[in-house]
Amino acid sequence: MVDKRYKRNEAFRYDFGKPLGCEYRHITTVYDIETKSVPFQGEINNISPNGLQLNCSKEDVNNLKNGEQVEVTFTLSTEIFVMVGEVVWEKKDVYGSLYGIKFLTLGMEQTIVDELKKYAKEQLKK
C-alpha cells in the first residue's frame, strides 16, 4: 500500500486502518450538460471534513486527472454520503492510482465529523 501524506494542515483527519470501500464516478460537463461515468469501485484510505484520499485499481482505464470532478459514494456508520469533489493530486503505482480529493459539496463538514465519531466507536467494539 502506498503511503501519501496530505501537505495541508487540518485539525482532523481520520485514517482507516483497513480502507473503506466506496464507489466513484467521473463527472464531465460539456455545454453545461453534466454526465457521469459508470461507477467504479475504490477505497478510501483517509478522510477529513474537507476531503479524502481515494485509492483506485487499474480497472478504471480512464484514470482521474488533476482538476477533474468526481462523485464519491460511501457509508460511514449509518449515513450514506454522496460527495462531489475535485482531484487535487495524483500518484500512480503498480497496483493502481492514489488521488487527493477536495470536497466541493458544502455544508457536510459537521455531519462527516459526527459520523466518523460513530464509526470509530463501532470499530473499537469489534
The rounded distance, in Å, linking the Cα atoms of 28 and 33 is 8
The rounded distance, in Å, linking the Cα atoms of 101 and 109 is 14
Give the pLDDT confidence score for residue 83 in this predicted structure.
Answer: 96
Which residue has cell 471534513? 49
To the question of pTM greater than 0.75 for the whole model, the response is yes
**Pairing mode, if any, of strands 69-76 and 96-103?**
unpaired
Give the confidence band of 9 by pLDDT, cuts at 50, 70, 90.
low
Could you say which DSSP state residue 59 is in? T
The rounded distance, in Å, linking the Cα atoms of 71 and 68 is 10
Give the length of the chain. 126
| Whether pLDDT at 4 is above 70 | no
